[in-house]
């Protein structure tokens, strides 16, 4: 399955705020679709529907395909520890996710584009793979090029990240960040129950 490129506000209305998908807010409060517009809509989601929506939150927020997300779930199961937390840590350690967290981009999709275009370096090497898994003590910085530095500086000013999570150390003058540790559950901006995502894939 290909990556989603449709209306983003419609997804936000259906699943709730997804910081990695878009920062825009819809004026409409109801869910999209015929049922969402009904004033007497008292339908309740089934257990499967609830798990499906939690899975879709993760998928749309990080801009993943179905196969990519399933591979991350399998990898999280394979590792020792709390599977839900490990899954989130794997996703947060993607290069495009870290660039978004640092404020280099206003969405994960824009961060993916920056990486694809070769603006980002990891340990002094240009990496153009958005799904690249960063490791502890990796140094992430902007390519030594005036256009790249100007672009990132403007993006950081426009995005105005209030507070960086403790697992990242960022030098705004050098446009350089260091991965100090794996993220904690409280550092993840997305609001979801990751356990339901694991349960959704439990039969596969």
Supply the pLDDT for residue 33: 62
Q: Tokens 């960040």 identify what position?
A: 177
Query: How many whole angstroms separate alpha carbon 79 and alpha carbon 97?
Result: 21
Q: Give the confidence band of 42 by pLDDT, cuts at 50, 70, 90.
A: low
Q: Which CATH superfamily is domain 8-90+190-200 in?
A: Ribosomal protein S4/S9, N-terminal domain (1.10.1050.10)
Average pLDDT value for residue range 161-184: 89
Q: Give the confidence band of 37 by pLDDT, cuts at 50, 70, 90.
A: low
Q: Residue 131 is encoded by which pair of tokens?
A: 């799904």
Supply the pLDDT for residue 172: 86
pLDDT for 73-121, tens place per residue? 999 999 999 999 999 999 999 999 999 999 899 889 999 999 999 999 9
**Of residues 159 and 118, more confidently modeled:** 118
Fold of the domain built from segment(s) 94-181: 3.10.290
Query: How many whole angstroms separate alpha carbon 169 and alpha carbon 20?
Result: 20
Sheet holding 125-126, edge to edge: 125-126, 120-122, 139-142, 176-179, 168-171
Neighbours of 163 (CB within 10 A): 6
Counting residues of the chain whose pLDDT is more than 70, the rounded percentage is 87
Average pLDDT value for residue range 25-48: 64
pTM: 0.86
Q: What is the CA radius of gyration of the chain?
A: 18
- Helices of type H across the chain: 8-15, 47-62, 66-78, 83-92, 95-102, 108-116, 146-159, 194-200
DSSP 96: H
pLDDT for 49-81, tens place per residue? 899 999 999 999 999 999 999 999 999 999 999
**Of residues 20 and 26, more confidently modeled:** 20
User: Of 98, 130, 124, 126, which is closest to residue 112 (Cα–Cα)?
Assistant: 130
Cβ neighbours for 186, distance < 8 A, ≥ 6 positions apart:
none
User: Of 97, 176, 170, which is closest to residue 141 (Cα–Cα)?
Assistant: 176
Q: Where are the domains of the chain?
A: 8-90+190-200, 94-181
């Amino acid at each position: 399955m290909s990556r989603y490129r449709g209306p983003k506000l419609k997804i936000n209305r259906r699943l709730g705020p997804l910081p990695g998908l878009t920062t825009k807010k819809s004026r409409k409060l109801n869910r999209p679709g015929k049922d969402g517009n009904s004033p007497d809509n008292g339908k309740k989601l089934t257990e499967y529907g609830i798990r499906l929506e939690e899975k879709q939150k993760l998928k749309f927020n990080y801009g993943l395909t179905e196969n990519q997300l399933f591979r991350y779930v399998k990898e999280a199961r394979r590792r020792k520890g709390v599977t839900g937390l490990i899954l989130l840590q794997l996703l947060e350690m993607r290069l495009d996710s870290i660039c978004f967290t640092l404020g280099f981009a206003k969405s994960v999709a824009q961060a993916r584009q920056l990486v694809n275009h070769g603006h980002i370096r990891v340990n002094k090497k240009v990496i153009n793979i958005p799904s690249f898994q960063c490791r502890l003590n990796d140094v992430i910085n902007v390519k030594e090029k005036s256009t790249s530095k100007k672009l990132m500086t403007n993006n950081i000013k426009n995005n105005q990240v209030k507070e960086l999570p403790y697992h990242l150390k960022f030098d705004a003058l050098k446009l350089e960040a260091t991965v100090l540790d794996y993220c904690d559950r409280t550092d993840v901006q997305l609001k979801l129950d990751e356990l339901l995502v694991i349960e959704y894939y439990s039969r596969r």
